[in-house]
Structure 1
């Protein structure tokens, strides 16, 4: 049970918590393709966006930050403006608690409100837990890129998953 999850708009005060979560994945996993820890300024650029359509939400339980999720621009060309890339990072102590599907449902609702037609998730193929969650939530694999990243002395593949939300509002 994911009792009392709260989704809060990202603010400056959340940066240290978000940075700690993200940097765990940088140092210990192939979930992130960064190979060096991100500074607060680098995190700020990645999670605080001046465009109100591309948002970051902090996931809280009992006022503690347990993760974050965001919409980012899929491509920097106008015809892509109806598509967003969706990303979720959970504090490693909260992985495996079935929180992801609730977070994804929240994001999809927000995406519809913001006028997005499609969501895309790009996932390292070693991240089987995330792949299963997106597939169970109706996302379909639409691309596979072989040996596109190199981390921990090995080549890594990524897969793109897509869900059409059906919203055609511009």
Structure 2
């Protein structure tokens, strides 16, 4: 098993995981599956400022997770919204926990303070998963997303990962030396092996 930084070469495998969520579920509010070129652009745009990670198991990409901007005002620079998707046939194998563990470790290196998850409600699996990762419930927006001819609620969950008493400038992901990223991923991988047992 390996967790590494995504590249545009991963876009096709990422799309294969994401497409069923778009076409068959309300887990994402996106209506249309992005094109390969669109997904490649999303990966590269994300990596300019935030981490985008993929999980490989037995040579196959089985999940991915990335961070993005929480809000546009400068005061929100220390906050991130997280997104995570795993192959729907691999639920229950701790892939999500492993991806989040690696992602949050890198966000801490960047001096991020808070992470947020936006979840279609009800989604008991995702809400429970985030609770187990230390997220707490913030609130619910009622009937705010319209997909598959019906309205859906959306909840926000949050987790504090930083040191509020020592606020340092946020370091864009692209500015962190690759050797430091690889070292962090390797250290988190050692911890991940304990999770899988």
Length-normalised TM-score, structure 2: 0.79
Across the two proteins, how many residue pairs are aligned to each other? Answer: 166
Q: Deviations over 1:87-146 (max 9, x none)?
A: 110011112223222221221111101110000110111321111010111101112111
| Alignment of 1:157 onto 2:156 | no
SS in 2 for 1:120: strand
Q: 1:65 aligns with which of 61, 66, 77?
A: 61
Determine which structure has the larger helix proportion and give its number: 2
| Alignment of 1:119 onto 2:115 | yes
In structure 1, how many angstroms separate the alpha carbons of the residues matched to 2:111 and 2:71? 16
In structure 2, how many angstroms separate the alpha carbons of the residues matched to 1:47 and 1:75? 19
Please identify runs of 4+ aligned residues in structure 1 that moved more than 3 A. Answer: 50-53
Q: Offset of 1:44 from its aligned partner? A: 2.4
Structure 2 spans left out of the alignment, 5+ residues: 170-197
Structure whose alpha-carbon radius of gyration is higher = 2
Structure 1 residues 81, 136: CA separation in 2 closer, same or farther (over 3 Å shift)? same
What's the counterpart of residue 173 of structure 2?
Answer: none
Determine which structure has the larger strand proportion and give its number: 1
Q: Deviations over 1:55-112 (max 9, x none)?
A: 2111111221001100111112211110111111001111222322222122111110
| Alignment of 1:78 onto 2:71 | no
